[in-house]
Structure 1
Amino acid sequence: MVKVNYLKNVLLMSLMTVFCFLAQSCSDDDYTAVDNKAPVVALTTHHIQTEPGRSFSIQGVITDADGLKSITLQNSDMYLDKTIDLLEYHPDSLLHTYNLNYEYTAKDTWTDNQQFKIKVTAEDVMGNITEDTLLVTPDGDFTAPVFTSAPASELTVLLQNPKLTLNTVLSDNKNLQYLKIAIPGLSINDSIAISGKSYTLSKTYDMPAKEATYQMFLTLADAANNTVTDTCTIKVSDLPDFDKMYLADVSTVDELNSDLYGVPMLIEHTGQYQYRARYYNQKAGTGIRFIPQKT
């Protein structure tokens, strides 16, 4: 009889221990539903354009009335499997709003034609789940285009022949889009559509046959809307005594703006309206010209 009672007591104590453990476990996860609806995931964008080696941020706002449990970001090709355990990071209170801002660095081996779809999963404490997809492509362009050969900061147009010849060479690492030319004093506001990685412009404008000074503004943009600007002063006047004079034996803009040594060649200014140069032509009949600026 004593042995039976002892066994009953042991069994009762064991059951009580298990009950207390279960009760404690239930208490830890016992959340009351507010609306029992799935979380709302509002990503800042569904398409991120980046480039190899560049860092980018996955951003958005996740909300849930019942309380958020976790946020997961996954893509096997990116070796990305990140779970943000909000109950672990915020053990004292439930979060109902979470501002997602996760940084990732694109691999140096990524190429323009690749695409990566990141699955974004939000789960609340009631087990409701919402999934969204973010597309990442390495075809972004963050480099501004370049005036490979920009017009001189000061251009002189002679009254005897009042024409402005604008020569410039443009380039971009991916794709050019347009060049805007503005001369407010002459109501000139041209926009030239261009494409490709390089472009050579040679354009002539008629100027009023009177002494005046104008400002010219150039804006160059690429296909990603990266821009660069340049400004120069145009002076319409009689023939000035140029501080600098160049000798050129080439006939095209590309040749004039090439990296060939001595093209164009700066010559000596010996006195008022006087210049001196020593030039050795490679073959007979080579044409030369004197220009007051390099472009």
Structure 2
Amino acid sequence: MRAKFLHGAVLWTFLFAATLTTGCSDDNDYKDVDGQKPVVELIADHIHVDPGSELTLTATITDADGIRSIRLQNAELYLDKTIDLLSIYGEPLYSYELEYAITLSEKLPRMADYPIIVTITDVGGRSVEHTIMVSTDNDSEKPTIKFAAEGEFTTLTAEDGTVPFHFIVEDEQALDYVEVSIPSLELVEKVDAEGKTKFDGVVRLPIAQSGTYDVKLKVVDKFANEETTTTSYTVKVVAEMPDFQKMYLSDVEDASQLTSDVFGVPMRIERTGAYTYKANYYSQKAGTEIYFIPQKADIYPICFGRDPNNLNKLVSDPSIAEPIVLEQANVYYEITFNISDNSYSMSTYSIEQAIDPAPHEFGSISLDTWNNGGSWLQEFYFGYMTDAPKNIQRFEQDNINPHLFYLKSLSLKANTQMNFIIHNWHHDNWWDYCAWYVDKSEGADAVYDPEVFGYFSDENAVHVNPAWQGTMLTRQNKDWAKPTVKTAGDYKLIFDAHLGRVKLIPVDNK
């Protein structure tokens, strides 16, 4: 810790005092004028700082009899400084502007308090004490909105005439409140963030009438550092449950993981008919919890989970829906459900019963390159390809489930548009023997936000097990995947050849 006396203040005080009555340095030579203790006006009695920063103790001190000395003390800051005004000026001062600078150690812990005792003594020996609290809890950073869903969402008005709006906000020190508003309705809802550093909250907005509404989110921390954002969250309120054309399976532990991926999260499932869906999912660990959601970015405003009042039924309200728990590990689950009557059923099948279209055992030397009975045998594998088959980044196969493959580290830059397929390796460059593309017949979203990968082969799929029920692509409807990376970082690619599902997620996501 470094302490210094601000000489500019001393000079100003000296000039101010020059017009005042002077006397000798012996206290006994000074006569009382009012016999009162010094009066101290602290400019700030609580200072918020960062460790390692400089702060200034400021106060206005007056005494009709004359100020003798000012003492500043705090043992933890190694501060014990006496400013003897009689010694400095040779006479008493009747008014003094204190400005004393201190530089704190960078090693001081955060969120700690250091009371500095300020003792002022006049020439009559009368003293007064004040405390200036120094706290290493400064918060100069604005709070951040870690998650607020984007896009248009369809929601049902609850029985109480409200719809939910979900958000996750953070601050390095302490959050004060979150404000959610719908300007078109002149509606403002304020939520106390309880001084937390991370607040996962839901506001129920009183919207009873069907329509489309834009939502605005504002976050304020305890130091009034505001972060305001107008989200592109558009709430479409309807009276009856829609027949969603797309449905997704969510297995994430945190809602922010629904948007931290490049693509593939949540997992697209199959729509089998009006209001009915089928999900096939590989459970790697016992106790995996899943929900079904019609919107990709959040479990709000509609989330299908088990009804706590009837575990044989589903419920769509995320505030009460319980997860569907997959009790077994290393098996595939098949779940069918109907969102009209909220019925659902579950069954399992083994890894051995699962079928994928790969024509050979991964890593085997069994491929007849030219279909002539054995020439040019080579190792069979496939992987992530952005250029040509001889430049493939080979997948790592799961040691339990042979249908599951990984690329464990892929460094990507923000705003990069990817261009890739999953393809077999070939030493002589191109050969569409075994590959997975996206289905461009589903529209641009299939290419730029890939959800389902289909199998393609120039061999007309004669080598594919006919029991495999996945998506087959033709030359006319296949395309390369072209998602855009939102956030720079290291990602892992996970591919299930049985399901035809690929996801690209941050390496630190579970």
How far apart in 1 are the matches of 2:217 and 2:101?
Answer: 37
- Correspondent of 1:256 among 243, 255, 258: 258
Residue of structure 1 in register with 2:328 after alignment: none
Kept in 1, the 8 Å contact 2:146–2:256? The answer is: no
Q: Distance in 2 between matches of 1:101 and 1:188?
A: 48
Q: How does 1:188-203 map to 2 (within 5 A)?
A: 188-195=187-194, 196-201=196-201
User: CA 1:182–1:53 in 2, change beyond 3 Å: closer, same or farther?
Assistant: same
1:99-248 to 2 correspondences below 5 Å: 99-112=97-110, 114-152=112-150, 155-156=151-152, 166-195=165-194, 196-201=196-201, 209=210, 216-232=215-231
| Contact persistence 1:70–1:86 (CA under 8 A) | yes
Relative to structure 1, is the Cα distance of residues 99 and 31 closer, same or farther in structure 2, using a 3 angstrom cutoff? same
Q: SS in structure 2 opposite 1:109?
A: coil
Preserved CA contact (<8 Å) 1:167 1:201: yes
Deviating more after overlay: 216-225 vs 95-104: 216-225
State the distance in 1 between where 2:446 and 2:165 align. Answer: 27
Change (3 A) 1:156 1:86: same
Deviation at 1:63, TM superposition (A): 0.9
Q: 1:157 to 1:125 in 2, by over 3 A?
A: same
**2:394 is matched with which residue?**
none
Quote how far apart the aligned CAs of 1:181 are.
Answer: 0.2
Name the SS of the counterpart of 1:127 in structure 2. coil
- SS of the residue 1:78 aligns to: coil
Q: Secondary structure at the match of 1:255?
A: helix
Answer whether contact 1:249 1:286 (CA < 8 A) is retained. Answer: no
Contact 2:147 2:256 in 1 (8 A): no
Residue number in structure 2 paired with 1:97: 95
Higher relative contact order (CA 8 A, sep 6+): 1
Tell me, what secondary structure is at the counterpart of 1:254? helix
Aligned to 2:470: none
Secondary structure of 2:108's match?
Answer: coil
Deviation at 1:124, TM superposition (A): 2.0
Distance apart, 1:80 and its partner CA: 1.0
CA contact (8 A) 1:221 1:228 kept: yes
The one-letter code of the counterpart of 1:96 is Y
**Cα deviation digits, residues 123-167 of structure 1 (max 9, x gap):** 223333223333333344443321123455xx4467x99998755
> Could you report, residue by residue, the CA deviation over 1:58-117 in whole angstroms, capped at 9, with x for unpaired residues?
2222110012122111222211122223335545x6421222222223322222464433
Retained in 1: the 8 A contact 2:68–2:121? Answer: yes
Mean Cα deviation higher: 160-169 or 53-62: 160-169
Q: How does 1:41-80 map to 2 (within 5 A)?
A: 41-80=40-79
Output the CA distance in 1 between the equivalents of 2:215 and 2:210.
18
Distance 2:57 2:71 in 1: 12
Q: Which amino acid aligns with 1:101?
A: E
Q: Supply the RMSD in Å over aligned alpha carbons.
A: 4.2
Instruction: Point out the more displaced range, 179-188 or 163-172.
Output: 163-172
**Residues 142, 235 of structure 1: alpha-carbon distance in 2 compared, 3 angstrom cutoff:** closer
Unaligned runs of 5+ in 1: 1-25, 238-246, 289-295
Q: Which one is further off, 179-188 or 142-151?
A: 142-151
Task: Indicate conservation of the 8 Å contact 2:57/2:101, yes or no.
Answer: yes
Q: Pairwise mapping of residues 20-35 of structure 1 onto structure 2 (< 5 A)?
A: 27=24, 29=26, 30-35=29-34
1:144-193 CA-to-partner distances (Å, cap 9, x unmatched) read: 321123455xx4467x9999875543222234343210112113211233
What secondary structure does 2:257 align onto? Answer: helix
Judge conservation of contact 1:32–1:66 (CA < 8 Å) in 2: yes
Three-state SS of the structure 2 residue aligned to 1:217 is: strand
SS of 2:115 mapped into structure 1:
strand
- Counterpart residue number, 1:14: none
2:137–2:173 CA contact under 8 A, matched in 1: no
TM-score (norm 1): 0.63
CA distance in 1, matches of 2:38, 2:204: 62
Shift of 1:283: 5.1
In 2, the alpha carbon distance for the partners of 1:230 and 1:200 equals: 17
Instruction: State the alpha-carbon separation in 2 of the partners of residues 112 and 145 from structure 1.
Output: 18
Specify the alignment match of 1:84 in structure 2: 83
Deviations 1:236-291 (A, max 9, x none): 89xxxxxxxxx997636332132x444669899x9xx7544155452544789xxx
> Within 2, Cα distance between the matches of 1:33 and 1:174?
50
Cα distance in 2, alignment partners of residues 87 and 66 from structure 1: 13
2 CA distance for matches of 1:121 and 1:203?
Answer: 50
> CA, structure 1 residues 234+66, in 2 after alignment: closer, same or farther (shift >3 Å)?
same
2:121 alignment partner AA: E
Q: In structure 2, do the counterparts of structure 1 residues 137 and 126 end up closer, same or farther at CA, with 3 Å as the change threshold?
A: same
Q: Gaps (5+ residues) in structure 2?
A: 1-22, 237-245, 267-416, 420-439, 454-494, 503-510
Q: Is the 8 A contact 1:117 1:136 kept in 2?
A: yes
Residues 1:60 and 1:116: Cα distance change in structure 2 (over 3 Å): same
- Aligned counterparts of 1:181 and 1:58: Cα–Cα separation in 2: 40
Could you tell which deviates more after superposition, 104-113 or 68-77?
104-113
